[in-house]
Chains A and B, each alone.
Chain A
Amino acid sequence: ELKVEQNPLFLSMQEGKNYTIYCNYSTTSDRLYWYRQDPGKSLESLFVLLSNGAVKQEGRLMASLDTKARLSTLHITAAVHDLSATYFCAWEGAQKLVFGQGTRLTINP
């Protein structure tokens, strides 16, 4: 059975600090997605990682993909309060997305 596991599930950090969210998946996939969700809102696409070694950056967020290790990471640099949200990774395969449990990120001033 396919598993997509994120850790940590909860993360409280101070502004200005760096941190990494990890996403492990059990079955090989060509694509790995990262989404952001604010409370009660929709899913906002952050990154699509298409191949082994792919690295994408947008502002203070950087995502990478290691298909051999079946691992993707989302790195936050010098966190700011506006980045507080829940972050999901999603594995694509068999005509669907399979989501991780989500990481609830709280950034404190």
Chain B
Amino acid sequence: DSGVTQTPKHLITATGQRVTLRCSPRSGDLSVYWYQQSLDQGLQFLIQYYNGEERAKGNILERFSAQQFPDLHSELNLSSLELGDSALYFCASSVDTAWGNYGYTFGSGTRLTVV
């Protein structure tokens, strides 16, 4: 157990639907990152939150959004789902201080299948 908890582990849904993926970071970590892993695109950075604030944005579609709550857990919302959104979605957390980042811990991922 890495300490980063993602739920659900598997999700099957139909095109056009909306889903929410949840991530609880490791205790003490303030930063949460979302990554998408697909066969054709590899591992792609989506978005980062630090202590509730959006800090960096990557190749995240407009149909996708995320937020980090006061208790530091994060949710990734995917809407108007398409077949191509089928992927493994990872959350990672890190201790991000003024002196730098001390490494990233990844959760076990949520496998999303859009049918």
- Total of A-B residue pairs, C-beta within 8 Å: 46
Contact B45 A97 (CB under 8 A): yes
Q: Verify A99–B109 contact, CB threshold 8 A.
A: no
User: Is A42 in contact with B56, judged by CB distance below 8 angstroms?
Assistant: no
Q: Which of A42, A48, A92 contacts B107 (CB 8 A)?
A: A42
State whether B56 touches A96 (Cβ < 8 A). yes
Nearest neighbor of A50 in chain B, beta-carbon distance: B100
Does B79 make an interface contact (CB < 8 A)? no
Q: Is the CB of A96 within 8 A of B58?
A: yes
* Contact flag A98-B109 (CB < 8 Å), given A45-B103, A48-B103: no
**Which residues from 80 to 109 on chain A have a C-beta closer than 8 Å to any C-beta of chain B?**
88, 90, 92, 94-99, 101-102
Interface of B, secondary structure class, is strand
Does B93 interact with chain A (Cβ within 8 Å)? no
A101–B45 touching, CB < 8 Å: no
Residues in chain A within 8 A of chain B (CB atoms): 31, 33, 35, 40-45, 48, 88, 90, 92, 94-99, 101-102
Measured CB to CB, the closest approach of chain B to A53, in angstroms, equals: 19
State how many angstroms separate the Cβ of B22 from the closest Cβ of chain A.
16
Given the contacts A45-B103, A94-B56, A99 and B43 also touching, CB distance less than 8 Å: yes
Q: Closest 9 CB pairs between A and B?
A: A95-B56, A99-B43, A43-B106, A96-B45, A42-B108, A42-B106, A95-B55, A95-B48, A101-B42
